[in-house]
Amino acid sequence: MGTPDGTKKMNTSNYLRHVESMMVLPSGAGEISHLNAVILGEALASEENDLVFPCEEFSRQALVPSPEKYLGMYKRSITDPAGFWSEIASEFYWKQKWGTQVYSENLDVRKGPIKIEWFKGGITNICYNALDRNIEAGNGDKIAIYWEGNDLGQDGSLTYSSLLEKVCQLSNFLKDIGVQKGDAVVIYLPMLMELPIAMLACARIGAVHSVVFAGFSAESLAQRIVDCKAKAVITCNAVQRGPKVIHLKDIVDVALVESAKSGVSVDVCLTYENQSAMNRQDTEWKQGRDIWWQDIVPKYPTTCEVEWVDAEDPLFLLYTSGSTGRPKGVVHTTGGYMIYTATTFKYTFDYKPSDIYWCTADCGWITGHSYVTYGPLLNGATVVVFEGAPSYPDPGRCWDIVDKYKVTIFYTAPTLVRSLMREGDEYVTRYSRKSLRVLGSVGEPINPSAWRWFFNVVGDSRCPISDTWWQTETGGFMIAPLPGAWPQKPGSATFPFFGIQPVIVDEKGTEIEGECSGYLCVKSSWPGAFRTLYGDHERYETTYFKPFPGYYFSGDGCSR
């Protein structure tokens, strides 16, 4: 529990031993039992236990250039979370500042209901902070999104100013059809620019978006529409993924019939005409409910008043499939999530204003919320959004896109790395990839051999890999290497992010020290944590906080 003034009483020495242990590593290759060391950009990472050290040139320009700098920031984030996070939060726009208490938390079911609040009473808007704030800072003409279509030669881009105009038009349309603050809007779109536009348009007017991966079945979609009682559904008629056309509107039609049977009837289905995949005359249509995006949204004004919301007002729902029965609607709120995604993005990718950033994740997953839409745009970054399949028309497509847009930060999943690895190096090496400077991995542990291929072949042994451990529930990165700050070890997520206290417990819930394996838990809250499961706080407590009282239980095992 935090004390009323928000400082924490804790004994840091024990906890920080693991972090401090890296300060004694040699700065170059040196005698460490069973460990070899290689320096970034100077040699291939080969042996199982290689440590990969950042080269001096990279560290010199890094936001966190050394273990010492990290340790100073980290210690402060644990001993004075209120001061640490409110300082960072002050860099964002708040219509009204939060109260005297920066956060309040109870993670112990024995002491009452689980509660996490950050910046409560603070009034802000995440769309305003991602778009208007960057435009006011003089970045209106900077490219916000480069869009790459499924087929070669299909592309587009939006500056921050033009993105804001499109967002405002959609916000105005949603208000016009009666969507109000707190109402849910279900978004079932592929990776068109209209997907982040729809998310931001909801956020601007205080509506709660629930993005459903465009590929989920009509049954899954109907379940989600019913659970959140959606006011409207936003979709497109079809999408082409690789050579295959998927008729999304047909799936939505079936889902809307299903949800009506369960007592939730949706009056508006806004449909974007994705011409490259399907003509509008071939699209099944229900008069009075279905509306073509292109016919109506562009008629609305390009400015829209911001709905100012409390930091603890919900921003979005994202459903994860529950192991049993109905899916779990993870609820993220506005203020803490905003600060946490922006900060994790900035430090974990060593972000610089000149970077061109590409995350291959779909916005249907948490990665596409935190690290395609919100985290990057809050930092004023230029983001690549790719509609197609990474191996279409051939397995060199990713590197073709990297060269085309001069991508500097490339963030993807181990599954993709392994599938490209199987196709052979020549699809990678025929492209320059010289623009790359940081690589990232998300979604599952990356096995050391895939890590090394990614490092050696894709990154030419010169790009650090941010191997990130986090979850839908955590909102943002929890454990990840900061590029340039310390040596990397293939397959290890290394150290915790600022404010995060991971602990390993045994089955009795006792913390275990040193080299060990056990259950991965987190003690104390962090700004990006989810606040509840939609309409089911009891399940939230039972799943995540009852197994080990006093801790957030990740459901993961881990070894140190």
| CB burial of residue 389 (10 Å; 0-12, 13-18, 19+) | middle
Under 8 Å between Cβ of 442 and 367: yes
Tokens encoding 20: 């401090």
pLDDT given for residue 45 in this prediction? 58
Q: Tokens 């004694």: give the residue.
A: 24
Query: Which whole-number Å values give the CA distances from 5 to 100, 101, 102, 331, in the listed order?
Result: 8, 6, 8, 27
Answer whether 342's CB lies under 8 Å from 190's CB.
Answer: no
Strand order in the sheet with 501-505: 501-505, 517-523, 552-559
What token pair was written down for 544? 């995540």
What is the pLDDT at residue 26? 40
- CA distance linking residue 560 with residue 555, whole number of Å: 16
- The DSSP result for 353-395, as a single string, is TT-EEEE---TTSHHHIIIIIIHHHHTT-EEEEE-S-TTSSST
Cβ–Cβ under 8 Å, residues 188 and 217: no
What pLDDT digit, counting tens, does each position of 304-341 carry?
A: 999 999 999 999 999 997 556 778 999 999 999 999 99
Q: To which residue do tokens 């340039």 refer? A: 484
What's the pLDDT at 24? Answer: 52
pLDDT of residue 38: 67
Residues in the chain with pLDDT values less than 50: 1-13, 25-34
Q: What local confidence, expressed as pLDDT, does residue 321 receive?
A: 77
**What is the three-class DSSP state of 297?**
helix
pTM as predicted:
0.94
- Of 479, 476, 499, 525, which Cα lies nearest the Cα of 75? 499
Check if the beta carbon of residue 42 is closer than 8 Å to that of residue 461. Answer: yes
Tell me the CATH number of domain 160-315, given options 3.30.1360.10, 3.40.50.980, 3.40.50.2300, 3.90.1300.10: 3.40.50.980
Q: Taking the C-alpha atoms of 390, 395, 396 and 402 in order, what is their torsion angle to the nearest 10 degrees?
A: 20
Total residues found in the chain within this entry: 560
Instruction: State the pLDDT at residue 47.
Output: 57
- Taking the C-alpha atoms of residue 351 and residue 357, their distance in angstroms, rounded to an integer, is 9
